[in-house]
Amino acid sequence: MTVYLINNMVAIGKAIDPTHGAANINYLMTKEKAQLIRTNQLGNLLDPDDIWMNMEMRYMNTRNLRKANHKIDSPYFEFEISPDISETKGWKLADFENLLDEFIDEMDKIDLSEVTGHKGAKGYDLNKVQYVAAVHYDSKSQIPHIHLGGSRVMANGQLLDHSKLATRIMEAVHKINVRHGWALPEDIHKQHLNYINDACMKALGRMKTFNWESYGRILAESDLDFKPTYDSNNNIVNYVILFGNSKFKASTLGVGRNLTVKNIEGTWKKIKDAQAKEQQMQKAQEHKITEPKPVFTSHIGSDTRQQSVNNISPKVNPASRYTQYIDIDGKTHLIDVPQSVYDYFKDNCNVPEGNTDASKDDIIKVSLLLFMELVDAATSVSESCGGGGSCDSGWGRKNDEDDDLWKKRCLMQAHHMCSPKKVSYHRGRH
């Protein structure tokens, strides 16, 4: 099964064998709250069994029109087109029908005959085959989506060419995406992946002991569905995370496969070690701040009073915090800064001119690491995204520097570090 995203919309397509074709048609038409959009080349048939029988009859009756001994393993197909619920707010059935027509039209316009070497791949005209299309509503999220199922067999006995179907779907949804001015598929995929990665790392950070039950429960708080795979001994051997209609394998999550079944507990231990170190540093800092100051005694008449110089415990600032776990070179770093600092970086960062490998997220990450005085980690990130700058020896926060001044210096330094390395060319002697 191939999955692609367009504007938070998922397009899924696959060919299926006859044993699943009947069940697919029945499910498509009888699922709770299903709304029929249309049937194609099926006359007035509306009963799922009658529709399936009609498709089977065409398949059997046109065998003599195909090449001798030409076996068809997957004569039926299934597509699912699922816009995000925020994009379909207020949509009527006619709006879903328009989206269906747009998808069908784009699928047919794509010519893959040269790529596949098949003349039949010149187009993919679903209007020439029998199909049923209906709107379904996800039982859990209530996300509306279009189910499209039918037979690949045309009236002349030929079949829709499924060669490079993934490529065809990708190009079709990309064109729809551009036409509507929606975010590019790869951008949406990256946003979803970043969201899931962040949720996974935060879930591990909240767990006092590692166990899969807690991992799945905490992920569910972020609207993520944890789906494990078990072996014969009931041990988890793999898992996927579902986000809406998108599916992400464990091997694609995190950095360097650090969230796979094999490595996830080790990642949890690294996070807990980083948290412990941060707590130790915080306690040491608090002890330094609240260390008693010299006490002076003054005598005024017979009244003896003790006057403490700046001996005032700091008040806890209830302002919100921004936290994030970042894996760099095999080490996990906890980022914990005031929310206002993160917002400043996000609102004011720019990608240095000439650096085509860096993104705003990279600049923000370097800025956050510098703010936490993790200079080596910040340098690694800047170099990995095409930066050529570095911090001067002894660069760091000044004793009298408040958060406002420090965050500004960090952002300026991050911009410098992520600027492309300058190359000097010297003319040789003649």
Residue 218: beta bridge partners? none
Which phi and psi (to 5°) does residue 4 adopt? Answer: -135, 155
Let me know if 271 is exposed, middle or buried by CB neighbors in 10 A (0-12, 13-18, 19+): buried
pLDDT at 285: 67
Residue 11: beta bridge partners? 4, 81
pLDDT at 9: 47
Scan for tokens 């044993």, then name that residue: 19
Q: Which of 244, 241, 251, 226 is nearest to 84 (CA)?
A: 244
CA dist 20 and 13 (Å) reads 15
Under the banding of pLDDT at 50, 70 and 90, the label for residue 26 is confident
How large is the average pLDDT for residues 238-245? 83
Q: Which amino acid is at 206?
A: R
Question: Does 425 score more than 50 pLDDT?
Answer: no
Question: Does 315 score more than 60 pLDDT?
Answer: no
Of residues 300 and 28, more confidence is placed in: 28
CA dist 23 and 49 (Å) reads 10
pLDDT at 67: 62
DSSP state of 157: S
pLDDT at 125: 92
Q: Are strands 129-137 and 144-154 parallel, antiparallel or unpaired?
A: antiparallel
Under the banding of pLDDT at 50, 70 and 90, the label for residue 310 is very low
- To the question of pTM greater than 0.85 for the whole model, the response is no
How large is the average pLDDT for residues 198-219? 92
Q: Which of 29, 11, 5, 165 is nearest to 81 (CA)?
A: 11
How large is the average pLDDT for residues 79-98? 83
Q: Which amino acid is at 208?
A: K
> Could you give the 3-state DSSP secondary structure of residue 234?
coil
Domain 2-183, CATH number (from 3.30.930, 1.10.10, 3.30.1360, 3.10.20): 3.30.930
In the numeric block, which tokens belong to residue 381?
A: 């990130």
pLDDT at 307: 36
Least confident of 16-20, 198-202, 237-241, 373-377: 16-20
Which phi and psi (to 5°) does residue 133 adopt? Answer: -130, 135
CA distances, 126 to each of 24, 79, 107, 150 (Å): 17, 11, 8, 9
**% residues pLDDT > 70 (the chain):** 78
Q: Where are the domains of the chain?
A: 2-183, 184-316, 321-417
**% residues pLDDT > 90 (the chain):** 30
Scan for tokens 């860096």, then name that residue: 358
How large is the average pLDDT for residues 230-245? 88
Q: Which of 236, 243, 155, 167 is nearest to 198 (CA)?
A: 243
CA dist 206 and 199 (Å) reads 11
pLDDT at 2: 32
Question: What are 322-366's pLDDT values in tens digits?
Answer: 888 787 876 778 888 888 899 999 999 988 887 888 889 889 999
pLDDT at 176: 82
Instruction: Count CB atoms within 10 A of the CB of residue 370.
Output: 29
**DSSP 3-state helix, strand, coil percentages of the chain (rounded to 5)?**
40, 20, 35
- Highest mean pLDDT among 234-238, 239-243, 287-291, 328-332 belongs to 234-238
- At what angle are helices 185-206 and 264-289 packed, to 10 degrees? 70
Let me know if 14 is exposed, middle or buried by CB neighbors in 10 A (0-12, 13-18, 19+): middle
CA dist 212 and 206 (Å) reads 13
pLDDT at 384: 84
- Highest mean pLDDT among 25-29, 287-291, 418-422 belongs to 25-29
Question: Does 318 score more than 60 pLDDT?
Answer: no
What is the per-residue DSSP string for 109-143?
H---HHHHS-GGGG---GGGEEEEEEEEE-TTT--
Q: Which of 290, 300, 338 is nearest to 317 (CA)?
A: 338
Q: What is the CA radius of gyration of the chain?
A: 30
Question: What are 357-412's pLDDT values in tens digits?
Answer: 888 988 999 999 999 988 888 888 888 888 877 777 677 888 888 888 899 999 99
Question: What are 254-285's pLDDT values in tens digits?
Answer: 888 999 999 999 999 999 988 888 878 777 76
Residue 15: beta bridge partners? 77
CA dihedral 95, 97, 102, 108 (to 10 degrees): 180
Question: What are 2-13's pLDDT values in tens digits?
Answer: 333 333 344 555
CA dist 84 and 9 (Å) reads 6
How large is the average pLDDT for residues 135-164? 85
DSSP state of 316: P
Under the banding of pLDDT at 50, 70 and 90, the label for residue 424 is very low
Of residues 249 and 376, more confidence is placed in: 249
CA distances, 246 to each of 111, 200, 385 (Å): 27, 16, 27
In the numeric block, which tokens belong to residue 128?
A: 């020439």
